[in-house]
């Protein structure tokens, strides 16, 4: 197949994914079909019926996948930070802190146990699996997040899922780095692939000091500083109407991310904190809505592309390493591990049971997980076999999550709204 013909099919699939849900609603077919679901099934259809489709190997194209998904995630994190109206205080963000400090580690350890015990993955590979699947995806979770800036759609369920998605993409990175460091140490000791990892004292001390303490602190500090400075320049030094929203939105995203990475901090955290700090500077200014609108439209283009291409890869055999054990692990994570971990973490808060239930089951997995896996496999000496198993289970969990989320979230959120 020629490159031009591939672009034709890609464009057709993307257009179909964008148009079909609206067309179905127009025809009165009230089926729960979301845009990500349409993209996924459109990609699977194109990958199945189109002869000569170029083979999409995620291991061979790891660098390209990493960079595309990286940009999609940081754009989405900027959007999350801009649209949060709630003031920053410990009490108001208590659900967020519990999801980050309790639910995310429990989800990681639960999936590590499932990957090691059921899929028989070596320990470092199982840890990488747990780390890449734990974060709630900021790109795919837009349907259950708060509304644009100033719309005051910040009921607890939407706020918790938005703020969690904004922060846990950065806070999952320490666990990814632990898997990378353990795999590298194992390879240096044995000369073999580092799938099992080596978790000796020196690895753990270095990981705790650098990857946990320093990188998180540097990401938070750089994000806060950049957000403050840019907000002062925009709202105090320069007439706001003369500042182009598209350039500013991209500038905040890229500058905060790059600056944090230069000082070896977590760029994901810096981007979210910078956007959040920028928003708090002039909380009620309508300019925030303009910035958010540009970010939302841009990230949607990346979402369509990534999910559609993932569908093609699934049709081409990405899930081949997975058998019934892979399906069991995927369902165990989505139905038991994440919901139970989130439910436990929210215990004791003054929250209705239906809100607690919604937060527990609506943490979708997606683009961020693809980025983390591509990054982890590109920077650590995992074997080809382990890499293909990891890609298979991550794609399977993501596909099930997209479908289940697309079918459940409208009903769950509608029921919450009607009760409220």
**182 band by pLDDT with thresholds 50, 70 and 90:** very high
Min mean pLDDT across 25-34, 51-60, 124-133 is at 25-34
Give first-to-last CA distance, the chain, whole Å. 54
User: How many Cβ atoms are within 10 Å of 311's Cβ, its own excluded?
Assistant: 28
Does pLDDT of 273 surpass 70? yes
pLDDT for res 270: 94
pLDDT for res 29: 62
pLDDT average, residue stretch 333-351: 89
pLDDT for res 394: 93
Distance, CA of 183 to CA of 188 (rounded, Å): 9
Closest CA to 308 of 32, 50, 63: 50
3-state secondary structure of 356: helix
Cβ distance 140 to 76 under 8 Å?
Answer: no
- For all residues of the chain together, what is the average pLDDT? 83
Min mean pLDDT across 251-265, 302-316, 371-385, 401-415 is at 401-415
**156 band by pLDDT with thresholds 50, 70 and 90:** confident
**147 band by pLDDT with thresholds 50, 70 and 90:** low
pLDDT for res 108: 94
pLDDT for res 204: 93
Does pLDDT of 391 surpass 80? yes
Distance, CA of 203 to CA of 183 (rounded, Å): 10
Does pLDDT of 218 surpass 80? yes
pLDDT average, residue stretch 62-86: 86
Does pLDDT of 186 surpass 70? yes
pLDDT average, residue stretch 198-208: 92
Distance, CA of 95 to CA of 271 (rounded, Å): 21
**387 band by pLDDT with thresholds 50, 70 and 90:** very high
Distance, CA of 307 to CA of 328 (rounded, Å): 23
Distance, CA of 33 to CA of 21 (rounded, Å): 6
pLDDT for res 388: 93
* All domains of the chain in start order, with CATH: 70-419 (1.20.1530)
3-state secondary structure of 105: helix
pLDDT average, residue stretch 181-209: 91
**245 band by pLDDT with thresholds 50, 70 and 90:** low
Min mean pLDDT across 12-26, 44-58, 153-167, 185-199 is at 12-26
Which tens digits make up the pLDDT trace of 6-20? 677 667 766 766 676
Closest CA to 365 of 377, 373, 355: 373
Per DSSP, the residues of 218-238 read HHHHHHHHHHHHHHHIIIIIS
**336 band by pLDDT with thresholds 50, 70 and 90:** very high
Does pLDDT of 180 surpass 80? yes
Does pLDDT of 290 surpass 80? no
Cβ distance 182 to 124 under 8 Å?
Answer: yes
**105 band by pLDDT with thresholds 50, 70 and 90:** very high
With a CB cutoff of 8 Å and minimum separation 6, the contacts of 253 are 74, 75, 77, 78, 271, 275, 295
pLDDT for res 351: 81
Tally the C-alpha atoms within 13 A of residue 126's C-alpha that lie toward its C-beta: 19
Alpha carbon of 378 to those of 61, 124, 254, 369: distances in Å?
10, 15, 22, 14
């Amino acid at each position: 197949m020629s490159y031009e013909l591939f672009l034709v099919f890609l464009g057709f699939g993307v257009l179909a994914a964008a148009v079909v849900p609206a067309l179905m609603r127009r025809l009165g077919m009230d089926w729960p079909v979301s845009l990500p679901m349409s993209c996924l099934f459109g990609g699977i259809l194109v990958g199945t019926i189109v002869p000569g489709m170029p083979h999409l190997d995620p291991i061979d194209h790891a660098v390209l996948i990493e960079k595309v998904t990286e940009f999609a995630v940081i754009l989405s994190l900027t959007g999350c930070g801009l649209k949060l109206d709630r003031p920053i205080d410990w009490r108001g963000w208590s659900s967020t802190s519990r999801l980050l400090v309790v639910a995310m580690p429990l989800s990681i350890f639960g999936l590590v146990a499932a990957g090691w015990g059921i899929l028989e993955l070596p320990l470092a590979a199982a840890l990488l699996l747990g780390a890449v699947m734990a974060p709630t995806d900021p790109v795919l979770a837009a349907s259950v997040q708060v509304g644009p800036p100033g719309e005051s759609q910040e009921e607890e369920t939407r706020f918790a899922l938005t703020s969690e998605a904004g922060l846990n993409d950065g806070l999952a990175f320490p666990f990814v780095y632990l898997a990378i460091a353990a795999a590298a140490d194992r390879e240096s000791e044995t000369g073999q692939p580092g799938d099992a990892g080596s978790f000796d004292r020196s690895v753990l001390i270095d990981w705790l000091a650098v990857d946990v303490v320093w990188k998180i602190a540097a990401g938070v500090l750089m994000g806060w500083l950049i957000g403050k400075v840019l907000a002062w320049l925009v709202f105090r030094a320069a007439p706001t109407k003369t500042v182009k929203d598209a350039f500013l939105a991209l500038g905040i995203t890229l500058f905060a991310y790059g600056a944090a990475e230069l000082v070896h901090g977590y760029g994901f955290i810096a981007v979210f904190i910078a956007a959040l700090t920028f928003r708090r500077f002039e909380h009620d200014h309508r300019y925030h809505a303009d910035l958010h609108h540009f970010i939302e439209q841009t990230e949607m283009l990346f979402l369509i592309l990534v999910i559609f291409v993932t569908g093609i890869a699934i049709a081409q055999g990405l899930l081949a390493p997975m058998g019934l054990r892979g399906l069991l692990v995927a369902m165990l994570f989505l139905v038991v591990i994440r919901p139970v971990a989130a439910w436990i973490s929210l215990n004791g808060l003054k929250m209705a049971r239906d809100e607690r239930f919604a937060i527990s089951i609506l943490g979708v997995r997606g683009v961020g997980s693809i980025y983390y896996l591509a990054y982890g496999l590109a920077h650590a000496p995992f074997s080809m076999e382990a890499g293909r198993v990891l890609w298979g289970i991550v794609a399977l969990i993501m596909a099930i999550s997209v479908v289940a989320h697309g079918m459940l979230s409208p009903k769950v959120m509608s029921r919450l709204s009607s009760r409220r």
